[in-house]
Amino acid sequence: MRLLTHNMLSSNIKGVTNGFPLRIEAEKVVEKQVEINHDFLRNIFPKIEWKAFVDASRILGYAELPEEAPEPSVLESDHEFLGKFHHALLELHIEEGALVCPETGRKFPINKGIPNMLLHEDEV
């Protein structure tokens, strides 16, 4: 599961007011090389919840991203930043671990890179 996906998922357990972002418990993280696509990065950038993204990347051991989201114009020319953004967003994969609801602490397991977000009967 990539951090791009993590940035889109939230806990939808009944009664939870803010289920985003899910906390990460990473047991196994792998790096998978993905060809960089600058246009894709420029397009996706405005949709990323930056703080959640930076925090998540730190948990996975990547500390290169700035705390504050840069101005979009930075993505036009700063290839170094684009590379870091790309790496954290798409190349770090949580293979095994869990996503944790920030309010209830309930764990959604990640197996073979696939998060299981199914709710139990009493959470619906």
Partner 1 sequence: MTALLLRTFLPSPLTCRTPPPPTPTPPLIRGPRFGELTTSARVRLTRTNATAPTKPRTLQEGIAELYDESSGIWEEIWGDHMHHGFYDPDSSVSLSASDHRAAQIRMIDQALSFAGISEDLANKRVVDVGCGIGGSSRYLATKYGAQCEGITLSPVQAERANALAASPGLADKVSFQVADALDQPFPDGQFDLVWSMESGEHMPDKAKFVNELVRVAAPGGTIIVVTWCHRDLAPSEESLQPWEKNLLSRICDAYYLPEWCSTADYVKLLKSHSVQEVKRADWSQYVAPFWPAVIRSALTWKGLTSLLRSGLKTIKGALVMPLMIEGFQKGVIKLAIITCRKLD
CA 105 → CA 21, 25, 35, 100, 102, distances in Å? 12, 11, 36, 6, 6
Smallest separation (angstroms) from partner 1 to the CB of 55: 17
Q: Using alpha carbons, select from 92, 79, 68 the residue that is nearest to residue 42.
A: 79
Smallest separation (angstroms) from partner 1 to the CB of 114: 5
The side-by-side arrangement of strands in the sheet containing 23-31 is 23-31, 92-100, 107-111
Smallest separation (angstroms) from partner 1 to the CB of 62: 17
Binding site for partner 1 (CB under 8 A): 1-2, 4-5, 8-12, 19-20, 32, 34-35, 37, 39-40, 43-44, 47, 90, 108, 111-121, 124
Closer of 9 and 74 to partner 1 (Cβ): 9
Smallest separation (angstroms) from partner 1 to the CB of 110: 9
Closer of 54 and 99 to partner 1 (Cβ): 99
Question: What phi and psi, each to the nearest 5 degrees, are found at residue 53?
Answer: -70, -45
